[in-house]
A and B are shown apart, each in its own frame.
Chain A
Amino acid sequence: MLYRESGQFKTSYKADMAIFPIRQDLWGLITTLIVAVVIVPLFASEHMIVGYLLPFMIWSIAAIGLNILTGYAGQLSLGHGAFMAVGAYSAYNLAVRIPDLPLLAVFIGAGLIAAACGVVVGSPSLRIKGFYLAVATLAAQFFSEWVFATFPWFVGGAASMVIDTPKMSLFGYPIESNLDNYFLVLGFVIVTTLLAKNLVRSEIGRAWMAVRDMDVAAEVIGIRPLYTKLSAFAVSSFFAGIAGALYAFCYVKSVDFTAFDLFVSLKVLFMIIIGGMGSILGCFLGAAFIVILPILLNVAAHHLTGGNVSPELITNIEHMTFGGLIVYFLIVEPHGLARMWTTAKEKLRLWPFPH
């Protein structure tokens, strides 16, 4: 009833192949965009923006990257943190060594360098699969940490091997306040999401999914595994690189070699597992679950107890509830939060007369 698409007739192929063929989805998206672009900047507090939204959006981009590789192309990777690190350090070096480079070029350049690294790291995927590939990509993780901890060239010679991101300006407008950073990241989120959504609907996206479902069969019907797998690695790392650069420049504003450790790779993997493999919406849901939920739980526990209990108790409540929720959601819907949303849509379609 609420979610019925009857009466929405498609009269052309173009309409049938639209990115959001159901009108309710389109409205939902437009509402979200209006909230993000107008309502949030007008009403959200700085805590809301920096504490919740900035990390949520940046991790969403990273999750989209990994979801393309793991969820769509079926290549398991534990090196996502390494590509984020490459993105962050490349952006720093591009910005500092070429001071006249426009900001957008810095971020896109960082993404491209990360993509190149992704192709190199992904090349074993032509020979090995599954868990073995995960272990091979793990090498990238440790290698990147070692490189950025060992060679001062990458950090501009700082004794502590920490980089401080330089000042940013976009077309002459300085990006300083939290709101400026929010808009910059939001812009990247919109563009990367659109890009990802269209990529997975296009020929290359279908090739990725074919390789994921059965690579021998895909090869037989004429899909080149070399090109398909490596392009998945390149696109995935490109997204990771942009996310890493945004993380460094817009969020933490300082990065060292411990910032993108193995736990970061695992964190992104958990996001797409909980959010939903092979779903762009799932990336956002997963990122929200991993990034925002613990903070919400912490704040809620703090308010419920009035701040009168010891802080380690609050943290432990947070950890226990969070862990319990992970188990709960994985039992209720092993295919992730995105699948829950699909099921809910099906139910809404029939509501209030289920059969």
Chain B
Amino acid sequence: MIRKLLVSLVSGLMLTATAGMSVMAAEEKSDPNKEQFFPVLSYWSGPFAPGGSGIAGGWMDYMALLNIRDGGVNGVKLTWEKCDFGYVTERAVECYERLKNKGKHGAAVFWPMSTGTTYALMERAHKDKKVLLHMGYGRTDATDGRVFPYAFPAMTNYWNQSSAKLRYIAQLEGGEGNLKGKKIVNLHLKHPYGIETIPVWDKLAARFGFEVTHLPVPWPGIDQKSLWLQIRKIKPDYVINRNWGVSCTVPLREAARIGFPRDHIIGVWWCGSEEDVIPAGKSAKGYITATFHATGPDFPVIQEIFEHVYGNMKGNLSAARVGSVYYNRGVAGAIVTMEALRNAQAKFGNVALSGEQYRWGMENFNLTAERIEELGATGILPPFSMKCDDHEGSGQVRFQQWDGTKWSMISDWIAPYHELTRKMILDSAAKYAKEKGITPRSGDSMGSDCG
């Protein structure tokens, strides 16, 4: 009897839920020509959820802001669907296939959200003509757009970040001449992402005459005691913290234990969020990291998100995280994504665009200081432009310092050593082109001047 009751109760509930959903679906029906679909691949579960949820939250909130405040972009409503892949590359491939054909012309742009996913989706996205926007991660050599027409590490990449870090260290030391004889430890995760910058540091060390030691941190990097014993022996002037997730926090505690000054640890931007430093408590005070966007809620665009999105209860994250590092990274990426959409719309009309049309918008991208001011995002991202053979654009990096309660920006935009990294990027891209049998684009190709 009870069993029967339960069964009918559950089935009744399910029926009501389905009916309710179909009503909702009917209400939401609108012109597919006036909707641009964005697939939100990210990770809300798993060990790296703080990063994934924060960035995706910022992205979706910015799209919600445009929908609520402006009714979309030039009258085209922004729609999106989330897919949680938990930082597992296999599941990301599944998410990509699940979402790539949604919307009128399918998804136009993917944020792969992990370096492994970027590599895995590179060939698929190229074949399907979908843009991959991997801002501040992914394949560094995708900067050469002649070989990678659909991949954009927009703003900056890992190699330029590393060289910008060195320029910053040189500033702290009072000039490049003073780098000679200095010791730098590159504490990096033993993971493709972690080891990618080793050749850059080696080249920089040879050029400026400092000594670099690469210390690999075994994945997942929870125990780094023996490494810090080695660091104590080496007595470096600076330690580069190139980790991810929990392994970012451990060095701060270990440094406090052996008394290494925290303001001589320079972190990668994936080790520079509130989530990385708060667990280290007081040990984190003074820690410096690179970043490619400003942090904090004191920007007009973030305030407008508070007002329009969270004011209408449409936020995609807990309001306390709005303005945090990962959140602002999502907003900065969303601004680039949406400005490229505007750019493409100006050429192809204010309708739903395909990945190929969207790519044109990325490749002819020019974000001016005036436009950034207009968007209320001055400082969040630098003015930059992209073209066929430069899918990165700026390469500039800022530095921030943790004062125990919040991140504060301690430098202006710092340029990398482009002349050094550029050659490495071209070499690496040429190797990829050779292996894959790709002829680099040249002349007027796909609507861009490729020289």
Which A residues fall within an 8 A CB radius of B?
A: 45-47, 50-52, 55, 96, 149, 156-162, 164, 166-167, 176-177, 251-254, 256-259, 295, 298-299, 304, 306-307, 310-312, 314-316, 319
Which stretch of B117-125, B359-367, B379-387 is in the interface? B117-125
CB distance from A301 to the nearest CB of B (A): 10
* B97:A46 contact, CB within 8 angstroms: yes
Which B residues fall within an 8 A CB radius of A?
A: 14, 17, 21, 24-25, 42, 44-45, 49, 53, 81-84, 86, 89-91, 93-94, 97-98, 100-101, 115-116, 119-120, 122-124, 127, 190-193, 195-199, 219, 428, 431-432, 435-437
Which of A177, A253, A259, A299 has most B Cβ within 10 Å? A253
User: How far is B81's CA from A258's CA once the two chains are assembled, in angstroms?
Assistant: 29
Which residues of chain B are near A159, meaning CB under 8 Å? 195-199, 428
Q: Which 9 A-B pairs have the closest CB atoms?
A: A312-B44, A254-B119, A160-B196, A311-B84, A315-B45, A51-B94, A47-B97, A160-B192, A256-B192
Which residues of chain A are near B122, meaning CB under 8 Å? 164, 253-254
Closest chain B residue, CB of each to CB of A313: B44
Which residues of chain B are near A304, meaning CB under 8 Å? 14, 17
User: How far is B91's CA from A159's CA once the two chains are assembled, in angstroms?
Assistant: 25
Beyond the given pairs A50-B93, A55-B94, A295-B91, 16 more chain A to chain B contacts, judged by CB atoms under 8 angstroms and listed by A's residue number, are A45-B101, A46-B97, A47-B97, A47-B98, A149-B195, A156-B431, A157-B431, A158-B428, A159-B197, A160-B196, A164-B432, A256-B116, A311-B44, A311-B82, A312-B44, A315-B86
User: How far is B144's CA from A103's CA once the two chains are assembled, in angstroms?
Assistant: 30
Which residues of chain B are near A149, meaning CB under 8 Å? 190, 195
Which residues of chain B are near A161, meaning CB under 8 Å? 192, 195
* B120:A160 contact, CB within 8 angstroms: no
* A259:B89 contact, CB within 8 angstroms: yes
* B89:A314 contact, CB within 8 angstroms: no
Closest chain A residue, CB of each to CB of B200: A159
Known interface pairs A160-B192, A166-B436, A315-B86; A254-B44 also in contact (CB < 8 Å): no
User: How far is B428's CA from A295's CA once the two chains are assembled, in angstroms?
Assistant: 36
* A162:B435 contact, CB within 8 angstroms: no
Number of A-B contacts (CB under 8 A): 110
Closest chain B residue, CB of each to CB of A294: B91
User: How far is B42's CA from A312's CA once the two chains are assembled, in angstroms?
Assistant: 10
Which residues of chain A are near B21, meaning CB under 8 Å? 306
User: How far is B85's CA from A311's CA once the two chains are assembled, in angstroms?
Assistant: 10
Known interface pairs A161-B192, A254-B122, A258-B191; A51-B98 also in contact (CB < 8 Å): yes
User: How far is B17's CA from A319's CA once the two chains are assembled, in angstroms?
Assistant: 22
* B17:A312 contact, CB within 8 angstroms: no
* B119:A164 contact, CB within 8 angstroms: yes
* B120:A254 contact, CB within 8 angstroms: yes
CB distance from B184 to the nearest CB of A (A): 18
Closest chain B residue, CB of each to CB of A47: B97
* B219:A258 contact, CB within 8 angstroms: yes
Which residues of chain A are near B94, meaning CB under 8 Å? 47, 50-52, 55, 295
Which of A47, A156, A259 has most B Cβ within 10 Å? A47
Closest chain B residue, CB of each to CB of A314: B84
Which residues of chain A are near B431, meaning CB under 8 Å? 156-158
* A164:B436 contact, CB within 8 angstroms: yes
CB distance from B110 to the nearest CB of A (A): 14
Which residues of chain A are near B53, meaning CB under 8 Å? 312
Q: Which of B17, B82, B115 contacts A307 (CB 8 A)?
A: B82
Which of B24, B89, B193, B435 has most A Cβ within 10 Å? B435
User: How far is B86's CA from A319's CA once the two chains are assembled, in angstroms?
Assistant: 11
Which residues of chain A are near B81, meaning CB under 8 Å? 307
Known interface pairs A47-B98, A307-B82; A162-B428 also in contact (CB < 8 Å): no
Instruction: Please list 20 pairs of residues, one from A and one from B, whose beta carbons are closer than 8 Å in the complex, sorted by A's number.
Output: A50-B94, A50-B97, A51-B93, A52-B94, A159-B197, A160-B193, A161-B195, A164-B435, A166-B435, A252-B93, A254-B122, A256-B116, A258-B192, A259-B89, A295-B94, A306-B21, A311-B42, A311-B83, A312-B45, A316-B45
Closest chain A residue, CB of each to CB of B40: A311
Known interface pairs A159-B195, A304-B17; A252-B90 also in contact (CB < 8 Å): yes
* B435:A253 contact, CB within 8 angstroms: no
